[in-house]
Structure 1
Amino acid sequence: MKQLAQTFLAIFVIAFALMYTAHYMNASEGLTGGNTLTVYNWGDYIDPELITKFEEETGIKVIYQTFDSNEAMMTKIVQGGTTFDVAVPSEYAVDKMRKENLLLPLDHSKLPGISNINPRFMNLAFDPGNQYSVPYFWGTVGIVYNPELTGNLTFKSWNDLWDPSLKNKIMFVDGAREILGMSLNSMNYSVNDTNEEHLQAALAKLQKLTPNVKAIVGDEIKMLLANEEAAVGIVWSGDASEIIDANDKLTYVLPEEGTNLWSDNMVIPKTAKNIEGAHKFINFMLDPANAAQNAEYVGYSTPNEKAMKLLPEEISSDERFYPDLNSMKLEVYENLGKKMLAHYNELFLEFKMHKK
């Protein structure tokens, strides 16, 4: 009898443990699955009101985390310490991530809003057929400048940056592809050039620009240029939009030799827990009204054709930020491979050391 009682007690303990484990796992799934969505995006790259709207419409709680470079984002996803359901890498990072099996294929049947995207931004080489990514924002790299501080220069060419009158008046974003690409473009080479002779020529030309470069900085470049701490900046178009909003003396141009056409894209990392919620979020951001609201808030250019019709005309008709994509030499960054990307970074570091 005592033995039977012990057997029943053991069965009860095991059953209780199984029930507790199941309950705990369900609760955990609620935190990382159906009730919660973790979004990994660039800083200040979404209208916070849209997150609230999505939560109210779906009942899904959004955990929003930010990164400051594609490389930092990919490293964190590879490490797997935090599970992300949606991430927003740039085009070359999408290419790298899909080749390294870091992304889940998208279910286009759950993304009817994808039909709103301008075909110019679809089916590009970094993701044929958009199997893994959906365009979020796009833009260019160009020159923002203050005419009151630059005299008669209008910056039709990248080569205008080397004008002696600009001594200690230029600020650069801290980006190897952007700055080396600018120098390559100034010699009519591609921003994706891997010819060592061309790369060394681009470095040598940058080093000759050193007297004109006041600083190489991060996000603070927007505040510094708006406050007229420098006359000229090499920046991304969305940053230029923010700078001009803060100080309308400045303007933004795309030099005639051409420049980078970049895009950031929504993807679902392979380790995502809330795949259904991720599709809901991506499709929510593809809604024309939401995309237009987001574009007005962030300042970058939307690839959403229907959203374009909802934007104020002063935004949608501004050729500085919505240039004719067929009339300019605009190149998408290619994934140059780990070795060549490291070489670009080495050359850029050499330039920065020369600057010091």
Structure 2
Amino acid sequence: PLRLRRRAFLTALQTIWIPAPTPLLSLAALALKLTKLTLLTLVGAPAYAFLTGSSSPSETARIKAWSIALDAQLVGGDPLVSRARLTLTLLASATLPATPARLMLQALHIRILFHNAPFPLSPTLAAHLARKKWSAARALQLITEALPASDTDVSAEPLPPHLLALLAQPAKAVFSDAAIKTAHALTYNTPPLPAEDRAIRSPLDVLAATFSTSTLHTALESSLLPSCSSSPTLSKLLSTALATAPPGSTPHLRVLTALALFHYSPTERGENLALALAEAAARDPPPETGPLAPKGLLLRTTTSAVEGDVKGVGRYRRLSAAELGARVRSVLRCFTHATG
């Protein structure tokens, strides 16, 4: 919820300093951050810590506070968010130790900062900078995987599987116009805001969910073509959508439902349907028991479809493109009503 995100941001402000949105204070803060970043780049982290006299505990607290503030700000936790404050926090993020997750977040931060910016060539510049950060995150992830566990930064949490899958995608595909608009709207708390989802906890989760949903839409559209209903391309799109969806989220549930339709093996279809129903039951309150209740309608519709297919293998193979499209829309419509 928004109140928790704002509470997290305000809690982080007890350790770090982000000025009020006044021109003089904002300019002073930007100059200070630029000076620190330049000094850190020139002399390196150890010498910078020695020159500034920062101790290990205070530096750890600073890193933790900035990490919380960055995550909270990019999901709408900053009630005074502005382009100046986003610039300040972007500069501050560059002073933190580099990790794949932080570099990915910086790429997203750049795209949000430059979205609708009144500068010439700002979209081109933003795409270039974000692509560089994304490539740096990939390279650092490869290095991290190659190093033994004892040599890695213990303070850096490893990327979860869905973010690893997202990092494997091209930056151009991840930072689509829809993804940037969604991230910008969430940061500024302006419509259209994405629906609240308890399984989505960070800006990168929002980015992964948006990419997964877009990939699923592409897969469903391609499935309506007679030549693509059973092609490797469709299978790859569905696999990518599943891999990049945050576990337990609505996009993850949608992909599982789609997989129950398109996998021609009765065993795989049954397994995916069982996973989807179990996940829906775990994330939702107990369903209504009436015969016309949305969850009951979902159970009857999807289960009957799968049971019929298990009894007659290849049933979906005989469906035309129009019939298959109608079946997909019908089941997903029931699913949407059931999950809210």
Q: Same fold (TM over 0.5)?
A: no
Give the structure with the larger helix fraction: 2
- Compare CA radii of gyration and give the structure with the larger one: 1
TM-score by length of 1: 0.25
- Pick the structure with more strand per residue: 1
Query: RCO higher in 1 or 2 (8 Å CA, sep ≥ 6)?
Result: 1
